[in-house]
Structure 1
Amino acid sequence: MIGEMDADSVVGYFRGKSILITGSTGFLGKVLVEKILRVQPDVKKLYLLIRAPDAESAKLRIQTEIIGREIFHVLKEKHGVQFNNFIEEKICPLLGDIIYENFGLDNAQLEELSKDIDVIVNGAATTNFFERYDVAFDVNVLGVKHVCAFAAKCPKLKMLLHVSTAYVAGEQEGIIPEKPILMGETLKVGTHLDIESELILVKETMRELKASCSTEKDGRKTMKELGLKRHDTSGGQTPMSSPRQWGR
């Protein structure tokens, strides 16, 4: 009975809310989109931040990578011929990327969006253990910074949800209880990650690669090795183990 009451409370919470979701094309992202639309059809709007070269391509990604998936068959059966109209009403594609400040949106878009958002679910990430360090840093560190900066501009915002993975456990083993990590605190005693220093390291490495006229293959290899090295020297506190989830 308590579980049912909790579920009803959550479902009711989303009624009339406008929600910004990043990482919606990922494995868990599309599940979240479908779940909200199925259990709370009275949600006001789902803004989906999508990486694409243009607006039409963004719509196509939503259609093929989210709406067109098998998981949406229940919703299609429920709404029948009105399914496309329902989706058109509830889902708003946003052409942008979390690696850019303000997601790459222009001022008019940003102002309109910020005024409407009630909830932000940040699920965009790269979860590849062997990702290039510069790519992982852009997405898993700067991306989070940009999401938080946008959240601060939303006057109606009621919740910012940042989705975590087992990556945040660092080198810990066994059952890891969820507990808040204070500002400046790290998982391994004696280690420290300074974001600005890491950003400088990335930029200097890129300049060195360019100066030495390295090939693209050499550049990828160097950046991957840098990521593994920084992970080892900072006690697992690097972008490779950042609290992120859901593919981009």
Structure 2
Amino acid sequence: MEAMSTSDASYSNFRELDVRRRRPALLQIEFQRRWNLRTIYELMRVMDTANADTTVQVVVLSGELSVGPHDPLLLEQGKVKRHRQLPMTKETLAVSGDDAEDRYIHEKSANFVMRSLAKKMLAQRKLLVALVQGRCVGLGLSVCSLCDLVYATEAAVFLPALSHLDPCAQAGPFWTLPHIRWLLHLGEQADARTALHCGLVASVVSESQEFWDRMDQYSRLPPSALMATKRLLLRHWRQSMLTELRQEGTPMAAQGRRLARSKL
């Protein structure tokens, strides 16, 4: 692995992420054991920096991708919002006061942050790749779903989670739709071969070094060739999803979601 030069200082000031160049054109972003809001903010900052860095051609996400139901970004969608729309009942009284308001604010802020991250990942101009070597759970799967390519080792396990999904897909945030897609395809749990068969994983590698050898080869391609490859890899729903995400935060979109919930 090549040492970072002084010109790479913008990739060194992170607390929750380990960001380093493996080669001049190959950037690795490694997640630590515990995700929090700062993790997402730092990831968005790396996305912006890599987008503006003309020397970077390939960005790889690796490390801890198991973000389960107890992570601090848990989105308890639907329940609190619907309580705020419906007449007071015994059920709604049980979720009232400061606690309900705190949960409501948490939900709104978490959705805003994840919508912002999804837009940055979908608009990333570099080849964006995820490497899954262990458990890929919940929010980790959502992040992988937004990458151009996902690779996995034989030890990888994918567990879609319902914890951050709205029971009504029409009312839920748009960034969760890829996760719903893989939840339907993969079921409760899938190994690397099942994920490969379902199309989530592009290739299963026998060991991580095989993956890095491939990324090294990709990073040596001419930028125009790599970008042509990226355009061919784009899933058909990506552009429409990016458009919807850009519209989702508007007052008109918010009103539409309120109307959808009021009909449930």
On whether the aligned pair clears a TM of 0.5, the verdict is: no
**TM-score, normalised on structure 1?**
0.28
**TM-score, normalised on structure 2?**
0.27
